[in-house]
A = this chain, B = another copy of it.
């Protein structure tokens, strides 16, 4: 069985839009999507509020209640029958996110088991046949076929095969 390594944030979970909704509700500032193109959605928030965004990322509960990326549940449920699926999230930078990410995953993707979740700091440690991720830093060292999952912060990246949404993933992996 071929192994597909799937990222969490911005691929199956949506912390960016959760943060933007919260920020607009409480502070009403402008989000600068151009700035995100430097590689991180955090820098799209006004600089004087970066600390608020970081505080929220670090606080218990934030990663527990994130929206699910459209169609990811249905497509991954199908893929899980044909591939060895591993969800791999760079999470150790955010110690309070660890259990939240686990609880979130098993709530929304109950067909996955605990053996299929990896929480790490540096994804160069994992290997497999395919990797779906929104960050170049994670794809860069991967030994297999790399797919850049489209997100607001990577729209300017070229030179990578892209998956724009989970319907496209279904076409690649399930047809």
Identify the stretch in A66-74, A120-128, A148-156 within 8 Å (CB) of chain B at 4 or more residues.
A120-128
Q: Which residues of B contact A92 (CB under 8 A)?
A: 102, 114-115, 117-119
Q: Indicate if the CB atoms of B117 and A113 lie closer than 8 Å.
A: no
User: Across the two chains, which residue of chain B brings its CB closest to A91?
Assistant: B119
Q: How far is the CA of A95 from the CA of B113 in the complex (A)?
A: 12
Q: Which residues of B contact A126 (CB under 8 A)?
A: 125-127
Using an 8 Å CB-CB cutoff, how does the interface string of A45-60 with B read, 1 for contact, 0 for none? 0000000000000000
Q: Find residues 99-124 in chain A having any chain B CB closer than 8 Å to their own CB.
A: 99, 102-103, 113-122
Q: Indicate if the CB atoms of A98 and B93 lie closer than 8 Å.
A: no
Task: Select one of B98, B113, B115, B143 contacting A98, CB under 8 A.
Answer: B98
Q: Indicate if the CB atoms of B95 and A103 lie closer than 8 Å.
A: yes
Q: How far is the CA of A143 from the CA of B121 in the complex (A)?
A: 21
Q: Indicate if the CB atoms of A102 and B95 lie closer than 8 Å.
A: yes
Task: Select one of B99, B118, B122 contacting A96, CB under 8 A.
Answer: B99
Q: Indicate if the CB atoms of A102 and B98 lie closer than 8 Å.
A: yes
Q: Chain A interface (Cβ within 8 Å of chain B)?
A: 3, 5, 86, 88, 92-93, 95-96, 98-99, 102-103, 113-122, 125-128, 143
